[in-house]
Structure 1
Amino acid sequence: MERQRIFRISIVTALTLAAVCLTLVLLQQLFVPILVWSAPQLETPFYDLGLLGAYRTQSYVSFDLKSPQASIVQWDDSCDNGYVFLDPSGPAVEHHGPLIVDAKGNLIWTSDQFETTTNLKLQHYKGQEYLTFWSGQKAKTMGTGAYYMMDFNYTVVHKLDAAGEGLRGDLHEFKITKDDTALLTVYNLTNADLTGMGWFRTENGWITDSIFQEVDIATGELLFQWKATDHFRAEGSYMTNPFGGYYAGIPFDFFHINSVDKDAQGNYLISSRHFHTVMCIDGKTGDVLWELGGRSKDFLDLSDGSASDFSWQHDARWLSEDEGLLSVFDNGVAWPHVDAPYSEGLVIKMDLENRTAKLVQSYQSLARPRSSSQGSVQPITGADGEEHIFIGWGSSAAFSEFAVDGQLLCETHFTASASWWWERVKSYRAFKTPSWSATPAAWDPSAKIDSGTLYVSWNGATDVVFWELQGRNFESDDEATEFQVLDIMEKDAFEESFVLPSGGDSFSHYRVAALDRDHAVMRHSNIATPPPPGMASFLLAGFSAFAVIAAVVAFWLYRRKRGWQVDWKQYTVDRSKYQKLW
């Protein structure tokens, strides 16, 4: 009896779970799309709730890779210019490669030819513009890899690594200076005296040392190097790790450098996430000239602590050295540490002579994310010609654009905000540039025919304005005729499509020409041929013919047996037995 009871409970539980799963699938795949179709204003809240999927992606017929299907939660036309540079990563992302999208999140370029990438952006080197990024293997909060510089043809023209035996370039920084040198970060496993941390740690403890280097790009020569262990001890860190430091396999990351910049005097501005400090390093001696934040008392905070109480911060930059304006992305969170209600971008005015700091402006997202890692702040010029502030929210998959006074102009989410806590999708930094002109050298436009429609795209090409469909037929002597123009359309999305002519107007071969704004041909796609009818098509046609013949025969038999007239008397109802009784 007890076994039967357990069996019944198990069956009921399994059926209940199956019913719940089926209900959720029907909700997401059927009811939610119907609601969004009938009420488009519901798409944004449904997206952020994850009802459309935690990470929606866009697939293409003519291109093998996918891109995020973003949601614009706030929009202003002053944001409608330029390109956004991202590095999507996380468990939900299929390939952790570089990604360029337009201002509304539509794909421009992506690649799976690299390992995990970070810090994708445009930089200048010797008067030329380059697409730069780090790529390599990411291990939790650091990485080992190299730095790449691509020209406008997406050709790698420089590959740079850290200088020194056994040192590999880290993912956090790759900044090209005005001196045409590179600033980069290195994380190095080494021994250190950790007795000051207590808990039975020894003089031969293990730490991850934070290093930054300035390297000559052309030669790889080391020009300057600075190590955190030369100036700071592990017990000064805000980070806690009860298991860190005892073994080489679990070192203690006490400093965690995550940005490096260089000023006009040749000194370096760096950010230490685990010291909650932005500091200036002497470009000749390596001495620490000043610190802002953390336990430092170098500056008087004129904003009641708001200019110096940032924590777990990223991306410290000089916005204007002349005006003393400094930008910082204040995470405020590093799980399990929660020191702020939400993350924000900060602009701080530094008076180096009088040693004062004052908060000028803060920038908050609509969704108020707690980004436990990553993030960036960038000054840009908007489509209206005004100065804007562009912020990437790091481990919270979103980017925003603000007026300098803090007004939120635009915000885009490239995954559901309800899933940000789990960090299934993130981008180390996000950058925006008003222009990027690129024409791939190694690949042409891609065309593919599917179900009578030709789809075309050209990954990475930014100057295509029109697509021109062309067709041709082979003559009986097997000599190809010239392609003739069949249709032309303005390029509006990453992938466009042409409905191909059918019947006697169809062609044996098709291709698409990419045209610039003057209608000059930039490049032709591959030649696409309509697929011949397959076995499935023959079977479908045969089944359809059989169904039609069967229907005709059945109708003919019915006519012979019953004739055209219907005997309606057989359907007459005897109403007498339904009369009411009085």
Structure 2
Amino acid sequence: MLPNILGLFALIGAANADLQPFYQSAGYDMSQYGAWPLQSYLSSRISGPILNYWNHSEACEKESYTLIAPRGDSVRHTGPMILDQNGNLVWFKEYPTTYNLNIQSFRGENYLTFWAGNDGIGGHGDGILYMLNSRYEEVYKIRGVNGLPADMHEFQITRDDTALLVWYDKQPADLRVVSRSENGWIYDGGFQEVDIETNELLFQWRASDHFKLTDGYRGPDERGDSEDVPWDFFHINSVDKDSRGNFLVSSRYMSCLAYVDGKTGDVIWRLGGKYNSFQDLSDGSATNMKWQHHARFHDVSEVPLNSKPAAHRAITLFDNSSRGKGATERTSRGLFLDINEQDMTVQVRHEYWNPIPISSQSQGSLQVLDNGNILIGYGYNAAWTEFSVNGDVLCEAHFGPAGGFGTGNIISYRTFKHKWTGRPTSSPDVAFAETHVAVSWNGATEVATWVLEGIGHAANWTGSAESDLNGVAVVSSVPKSGFETDIPVPDQMPYRRLRVVALDQNGAILGQTTPVNWTPDKFRNEVLVVSGEEGSLPQKGIGRILLLVFVPLSAALVVFCLWLGRQHLQLYRWRLTFYHRLDQGANSEVWLPLRVSDDLEREEEREEEREERERLDEPIDLEHCDQDVALLGKQRSRGLFML
């Protein structure tokens, strides 16, 4: 439990607005800022990633948000995550290991959709498919039918408003054809189409009914001799349904796409693999895919043709071009294919290559954006790239150091980009200090302006509830900026109660915080954090504590605080104060310590020095920076976590 608690520790110093992303930083990609650089916020307990942009063009889709679901060895808190066009956090919520965050339409309404559960079952998973509305409420939860677990590899809402999911189960099989036991075992894969509201099974398909064990490129190796160690001979990476009611199934180990009849389950044709059905008009480039992911049909009318002759249909996919660990690492690519089912020909319309070659030996995605651009997520590598339809690189972002690519440090199964309107049911989160107020609202996309309001003028304030109805005035207002925005507080505050109000672009009120009493003397040494979300403050251990340490904090003190975790505790040592409260609800208040610096000029000089070092891409000397705190190997420099 100790590491989880230490992850909540942060410094409280000057106003902590969002840190800017890096740009073409070799130091970032060499992990000089940690295995996963994160930033903390004064008003919220969650952390946001810091990106490293290698390209950032105005030609990128600007009206959409980027959706990822980070997980991996360096990711301590998994869950769906939304970022804006500048890489700032928009929304995050902790869930079990999460895959395939997307925005999909169901009966005319947009939902955040994703899978969350246990992904450690022999390369497969057992979890739940979630659908959250614009208020971030869990409206639908979909599970596998007939006792089969819902796997993480697919969650597609069809044009028929049904859900596609993948499943795996263990089956006995005669493996003598692949030089293994007669009494062997396989992981059989398949997919289900289910009714979203009732979870009723509409269609089910099983790979072993239509593919031979010898059709693939990957043998059983040492697997398949027992039920405990079955052989995964097929491995579904994606499923799509077209307007004809048929399905497109991508098999990793067959290195092919199978077009499946939606009534009989028969395979109509195969694209790629040992038994390819198409003549490749691109000298093999259209059919030599390996371990591919995220295959999708596109009607020709839905995608730009760029003077190419119209084909019967188009298919996009992410071609990993690799056969896994131990095999030759080939550069992954995005593929845009034209197929003609009358002549049974296929040709490459476009290929998408990252300028810095990336080999993703697993996972990945390709999305055709609304403006015609192509977004590629690199799966096992923490990166995405947005291309023009012709293949020009427009935006390229790393959300983890390139030095960790291929190691499993930071992964997102797929990456998507969509328009989204988020209207959370919570209130904004806010932190009040002597000179500024920091405010954020997890998931709120419509906020344009933050307004600090004063209630009850000091000259006539009586402390009664009725006085709140009089004397309401704007103290200051600023445009929303990033995830957390700082609002200045005047030197001479004439009001005894303060609150923060969120306005949309038309000036309409979206939400507001609970008014708090303004006591200038108290705010010189402490920060008041007001949570707007029910249950957003931990209720066990030492609670939601953000620490400012004037001298290095010893491990003994940490253990001591843990021992006293269920008590209200005040420690007057090193100008340090703890406050702990159980059963926090919405609009809960927690006082946090604030260091009173004796040398603000020196503090500002250090901040300027850090920014200059980042600009020059030089590593920060954490060892000699007395504003940094080292806690059991974790370091943070003024909002920048080093994990």
TM-score range, shorter chain: 0.7 to 0.9
Q: How does 1:142-541 map to 2 (within 5 A)?
A: 142-164=124-146, 166-198=147-179, 201-320=180-299, 323=311, 324-339=313-328, 341-382=330-371, 387-433=372-418, 435-441=419-425, 443-450=426-433, 452-472=435-455, 477-480=462-465, 481-482=467-468, 483-502=472-491, 504-505=492-493, 507-528=495-516, 531=522, 533=525, 535=572
After alignment, is 247-256 or 479-488 more displaced? Answer: 479-488
Q: Aligned equivalents of 1:542 and 1:98: distance in 2?
A: 37
Give the superposition deviation at 1:100: 0.5
AA of the residue aligned to 1:524: Q
AA of the residue aligned to 1:461: A
Q: Aligned equivalents of 2:461 and 2:193: distance in 1?
A: 67
Higher relative contact order (CA 8 A, sep 6+): 2
Aligned partners of 2:24 and 2:53 also within 8 Å: no
Rg (Cα) greater in structure: 1
Q: Aligned equivalents of 1:421 and 1:438: distance in 2?
A: 33
AA of the residue aligned to 1:391: I
Name the counterpart of 1:73.
54
* TM-score scaled by length of structure 1: 0.81
Relative to structure 1, is the Cα distance of residues 122 and 338 closer, same or farther in structure 2, using a 3 angstrom cutoff? same
Relative to structure 1, is the Cα distance of residues 251 and 537 closer, same or farther in structure 2, using a 3 angstrom cutoff? closer
Give the superposition deviation at 1:43: 5.5
AA of the residue aligned to 1:82: S
AA of the residue aligned to 1:368: P
Relative to structure 1, is the Cα distance of residues 500 and 232 closer, same or farther in structure 2, using a 3 angstrom cutoff? same
Relative to structure 1, is the Cα distance of residues 147 and 74 closer, same or farther in structure 2, using a 3 angstrom cutoff? same
Relative to structure 1, is the Cα distance of residues 543 and 262 closer, same or farther in structure 2, using a 3 angstrom cutoff? closer
Relative to structure 1, is the Cα distance of residues 337 and 357 closer, same or farther in structure 2, using a 3 angstrom cutoff? farther
AA of the residue aligned to 2:41: Y
Give the superposition deviation at 1:371: 0.6
Give the superposition deviation at 1:527: 3.6
Q: 3-state DSSP class of the match of 1:381?
A: coil
Q: 3-state DSSP class of the match of 2:202?
A: strand
Q: Aligned equivalents of 2:233 and 2:46: distance in 1?
A: 39
Q: Aligned equivalents of 1:171 and 1:484: distance in 2?
A: 51
Aligned partners of 2:79 and 2:92 also within 8 Å: yes
Give the superposition deviation at 1:478: 2.6
Q: Does 1:97 align with 2:97?
A: no
Give the superposition deviation at 1:302: 1.2
Q: 3-state DSSP class of the match of 1:122?
A: strand
* TM-score scaled by length of structure 2: 0.73
AA of the residue aligned to 2:123: T
After alignment, is 306-315 or 466-475 more displaced? Answer: 466-475
Give the superposition deviation at 1:50: 1.9
Name the counterpart of 1:557.
none
Q: 3-state DSSP class of the match of 1:229?
A: helix
Q: 3-state DSSP class of the match of 2:59?
A: helix
Give the superposition deviation at 1:249: 2.3
Give the superposition deviation at 1:394: 0.6
AA of the residue aligned to 1:86: I
Name the counterpart of 2:624.
none
Q: Aligned equivalents of 1:477 and 1:284: distance in 2?
A: 75
Q: Aligned equivalents of 1:107 and 1:82: distance in 2?
A: 13
Aligned partners of 1:446 and 1:526 also within 8 Å: no
Q: Aligned equivalents of 1:457 and 1:296: distance in 2?
A: 55
Q: What value does the CA root-mean-square deviation take over the aligned residues?
A: 2.5
Relative to structure 1, is the Cα distance of residues 395 and 451 closer, same or farther in structure 2, using a 3 angstrom cutoff? farther
Aligned partners of 2:83 and 2:89 also within 8 Å: yes
AA of the residue aligned to 1:376: S
Aligned partners of 1:471 and 1:509 also within 8 Å: yes
1:398-448: CA deviations, max 9, x gaps? Answer: 111111111111111101112102120010000111x2111002x110001
Relative to structure 1, is the Cα distance of residues 508 and 243 closer, same or farther in structure 2, using a 3 angstrom cutoff? farther
1:163-205: CA deviations, max 9, x gaps? Answer: 11x211111111111111111111112222212121xx32321
Q: 3-state DSSP class of the match of 2:101?
A: strand
Q: Does 1:83 align with 2:62?
A: no
Residues matched between the structures, number: 495
Aligned partners of 2:36 and 2:400 also within 8 Å: yes
Relative to structure 1, is the Cα distance of residues 543 and 304 closer, same or farther in structure 2, using a 3 angstrom cutoff? closer
Relative to structure 1, is the Cα distance of residues 325 and 340 closer, same or farther in structure 2, using a 3 angstrom cutoff? farther
Q: Aligned equivalents of 1:357 and 1:142: distance in 2?
A: 32
Q: 3-state DSSP class of the match of 2:381?
A: coil
Aligned partners of 2:24 and 2:54 also within 8 Å: no
Give the superposition deviation at 1:137: 1.2
AA of the residue aligned to 2:90: I
AA of the residue aligned to 1:154: Y
Give the superposition deviation at 1:299: 1.1
Name the counterpart of 1:18.
none
Gaps of at least 5 residues in structure 2 are 1-18, 302-310, 527-571, 577-593, 599-643
After alignment, is 474-483 or 121-130 more displaced? Answer: 474-483
Give the superposition deviation at 1:334: 3.8
Gaps of at least 5 residues in structure 1 are 1-36, 545-582
Relative to structure 1, is the Cα distance of residues 451 and 252 closer, same or farther in structure 2, using a 3 angstrom cutoff? farther
After alignment, is 322-331 or 115-124 more displaced? Answer: 322-331
Give the superposition deviation at 1:346: 0.5
Q: Aligned equivalents of 1:318 and 1:66: distance in 2?
A: 37
User: Which one has the bigger helix percentage?
Assistant: 1
Name the counterpart of 1:20.
none
Q: Among 120, 123, 130, which residue is 1:141 paired with? A: 123
Q: Aligned equivalents of 2:113 and 2:443: distance in 1?
A: 15
Aligned partners of 1:500 and 1:506 also within 8 Å: no
Give the superposition deviation at 1:470: 1.5
Aligned partners of 2:23 and 2:54 also within 8 Å: no
Give the superposition deviation at 1:505: 2.4
AA of the residue aligned to 1:436: W
Relative to structure 1, is the Cα distance of residues 487 and 337 closer, same or farther in structure 2, using a 3 angstrom cutoff? same
AA of the residue aligned to 2:373: H
1:476-501: CA deviations, max 9, x gaps? Answer: 74315334310011112110012323
Q: Among 55, 58, 61, which residue is 2:36 paired with? A: 55
After alignment, is 181-190 or 479-488 more displaced? Answer: 479-488
Q: Aligned equivalents of 2:116 and 2:235: distance in 1?
A: 19
Give the superposition deviation at 1:236: 2.8
